Amino acid sequence: MKKIINKGFSLSLSPSGSGIKPGARFDSSISVRSSTTSTATSTASAAETNMNSPCREKLFVEHCKGVNGLEKVVLREVRGCSAEIYLYGGQVISWKNEYGEELLFLSSKATFTHPKPIRGGIPICFPQFANHGSLEKHGFARSRVWSIDPDPPPFSANSSSQACVDLILKHSEEEVKIWPHRYEFRLRITLGPGGDLMLTSRIRNTNTDGKSFAFTFAYHTYFAVSDISEVRVEGLETLDYLDNLKDKERFTEQGDAITFESEVDKVYLSTPTKIAILDHERKRTFVLRKDGLPDAVVWNPWDKKAKAMADFGDDEYKHMLCVEAACVEKPIILKPGEEWRGRQEISAVPSSYCSGQLDPKKVFQSD
Ligand code: BG6
Residue nearest to atom 15 of ligand 1 (CA): 119
Task: Please tell me the distance between residue 300's alpha carbon and the centre of ligand 1 in angstroms.
Answer: 9
Q: How confident is the model at residue 42 (pLDDT cuts 50, 70, 90)?
A: very low
How high is the pLDDT of residue 343? 98
How does pLDDT run across 278-293, given as a tens digit for each residue?
A: 999 999 999 999 999 9
Query: Cα-Cα-Cα-Cα dihedral of 227, 142, 329, 222, to 10°?
Result: 10
Atom of ligand 1 nearest to the CA of 265: 6
DSSP string across 309-338:
-TTS-TTGGGGEEEEEEEEEEEEEEE-TT-
Q: How confident is the model at residue 52 (pLDDT cuts 50, 70, 90)?
A: very low
Q: Quote the radius of gyration of the chain (alpha carbons, Å).
A: 21
How high is the pLDDT of residue 18? 31
Task: Please tell me the distance between residue 60's alpha carbon and the centre of ligand 1 in angstroms.
Answer: 33
How does pLDDT run across 193-234, given as a tens digit for each residue?
A: 899 999 999 999 999 999 999 999 999 999 999 999 999 999
Q: Is 242 in the pocket of ligand 1 (CB under 6 A)?
A: no
Task: Please tell me the distance between residue 138's alpha carbon and the centre of ligand 1 in angstroms.
Answer: 8
Task: Please tell me the distance between residue 110's alpha carbon and the centre of ligand 1 in angstroms.
Answer: 14
Query: Cα-Cα-Cα-Cα dihedral of 47, 32, 12, 83, to 10°?
Result: -90
Residue nearest to atom 7 of ligand 1 (CA): 130
Cα distance between residue 264 and residue 211, in whole Å: 37
Q: How confident is the model at residue 160 (pLDDT cuts 50, 70, 90)?
A: low
Report which of residues 127 and 14 the model is more confident about: 127
Degrees, nearest 5: CA angle 15-2-193: 85
Question: Domains in the chain, ordered, with CATH?
Answer: 25-350 (2.70.98.10)
Residue nearest to atom 2 of ligand 1 (CA): 130
Q: Is 130 in the pocket of ligand 1 (CB under 6 A)?
A: yes
Atom of ligand 1 nearest to the CA of 123: 15
pTM of the model: 0.84
How does pLDDT run across 268-277, given as a tens digit for each residue?
A: 999 999 999 9
Report which of residues 45 and 341 the model is more confident about: 341
Catalytic residues, by residue number, are 220, 324
Give the DSSP H or E segment for 363. Answer: helix 360-363
How high is the pLDDT of residue 150? 85
